[in-house]
Structure 1
Amino acid sequence: MSVQDQLLDITVIGCRNLKDTEWISRQDPYVILEYAGNKYRTQTDTDGGRNPNFNEKYMLPLIEGLREINVAVWNSNTLSADDFIGSGKIILQKVFTDGYHDSTWPLTTRSGRRAGEIRVILHYKNPKGAQKVSSVQQVAPTHQSPPVYPPANLAYYPPPPYAAASPYPPPSPSDCSCYPPIYAPSYPPPAQAVYPTYSAGAYTPPAGFGAQSPYPPQSYPPPTYPPQGYGAPPAAGHYPPY
């Protein structure tokens, strides 16, 4: 991923064991950072001497392919030109990979002698290490294996209340035969009625069935009886005159 126009946080903490350019009084150091033609100057630590402190933070727009920052430390003078103390380079490769780098960098004089060291803290929001982790997370399958739990310690759990020992001895299998099954009735079943069976041509009516009745049989239609008494109608033509 390109670092072009992204921001780098750099905090100048301070310097240690600087070369002393003053003979009588304490020197007043300050730091100048230079990156991609831009310069950033800290405040002067008055009477900072050989171990000045700054704790100043800057935001640097990054340039693709430019992986170092030039740093120089000067002593501020009032009546004369400032004195050069030392310079060095801050390499950005580690902060581009990890996103954070807190380290000290050596300073040297123009002749190459040691002039002390400077401490800076670097922050970068899109390191390559985080990009690799994110790419692995995207390629990795989304399913997860079920969690594995250790087996439960059965001795830890007390037995349930119904599992307590019974005060009665358990019945033996031989004693179970002396008890009737729970579904057997405790009384004899009622006697069932017995009905005679019949077959074709073998039916015999019971005794007395179909005996001769003491009454004469009747015929139909019933006989007509002649009229008796005064109730008979007169013969035709024999009606009395009026």
Structure 2
Amino acid sequence: MAIGFMEVQLVKAKGLQETDIFAHMDPYVLLQYKGQERKSSVIHEGGRNPIWNEKFVFRVEYPGSGDQYKLNLRIMDKDVFSADDFVGQATIYVKDLLAEGAENGSAELRPHKYSVVRADQSYCGEIEVGITFTRKEEEYIEDDVGGWKESCF
């Protein structure tokens, strides 16, 4: 099993569908990978074409439990007086990237545009994301796991 880190570079979105009639959108992104969640900054009045240029790191095991190697990106519109609006989402399958990184030590998907879809799967814009997976060297794994170690007593 390879343990490492997946760095996600959230670049920008383009052509998002507005959710508010009277105001510009204040978009942000919820990034989810196997129970881990990160949140981008809110781009105040970012509208249909927000730019984030932010990086997020997830801990990854490959092969891990289950076969759901999906990075989910949920684009939301921050609202002050009501619940945040769901704009759309993109799903990036990273199994091949992780397999290559586990074998070679690292692997990279350069920033690429992914379709953003609504709940009904209709197209509502695109999001640009880059991903890098770096395998952690084997000798450091023990320190990271925690728990008991053998003693000399």
TM-score normalised to structure 1 length: 0.49
Query: Secondary structure of the residue that 2:53 maps to in structure 1?
Result: strand
Query: Secondary structure of the residue that 1:95 maps to in structure 2?
Result: helix
* Aligned position for 1:79: 81
The structural deviation recorded for 1:94 is: 4.3
Alignment map for 1:170-181 (pairs within 5 Å): none
* Aligned position for 1:45: 43
Larger radius of gyration: 1
Structure 2 counterpart of 1:57, which letter?
A: K
* Aligned position for 2:33: 35
The structural deviation recorded for 1:59 is: 1.2
Alignment map for 1:99-118 (pairs within 5 Å): 99-102=107-110, 103-118=112-127
1:119 lines up with 2:147 in the alignment: no
Distance 2:26 2:126 in 1: 16
Alignment map for 1:80-229 (pairs within 5 Å): 80-96=82-98, 97=100, 99-102=107-110, 103-126=112-135
Distance 2:23 2:51 in 1: 18
* Aligned position for 1:59: 57
Distance 1:84 1:8 in 2: 25
The structural deviation recorded for 1:116 is: 0.9
Alpha-carbon deviations, 1:138-170, whole Å to 9, x = none? xxxxxxxxxxxxxxxxxxxxxxxxxxxxxxxxx
The structural deviation recorded for 1:123 is: 1.0
Query: Secondary structure of the residue that 2:25 maps to in structure 1?
Result: coil
Alpha-carbon deviations, 1:91-141, whole Å to 9, x = none? 113433271102121111112211111111111234xxxxxxxxxxxxxxx
Alpha-carbon deviations, 1:39-80, whole Å to 9, x = none? 100000001000001111111111324421111000000011
Gaps of 5+ in 2: 102-106, 136-153
User: Kindly, what percent of the aligned residue pairs are identical?
Assistant: 23
1:94–1:101 Cα contact (<8 Å) kept: no
RMSD: 1.5
Structure 1 counterpart of 2:5, which letter?
A: L
* Aligned position for 2:7: 9
Gaps of 5+ in 1: 127-242
The structural deviation recorded for 1:14 is: 1.2
Structure 2 counterpart of 1:114, which letter?
A: Y
Alpha-carbon deviations, 1:168-199, whole Å to 9, x = none? xxxxxxxxxxxxxxxxxxxxxxxxxxxxxxxx
Query: Secondary structure of the residue that 1:6 maps to in structure 2?
Result: strand
Of Structure 1 and Structure 2, the greater strand share is in 2
TM-score normalised to structure 2 length: 0.75
* Aligned position for 2:151: none
Distance 2:69 2:22 in 1: 40
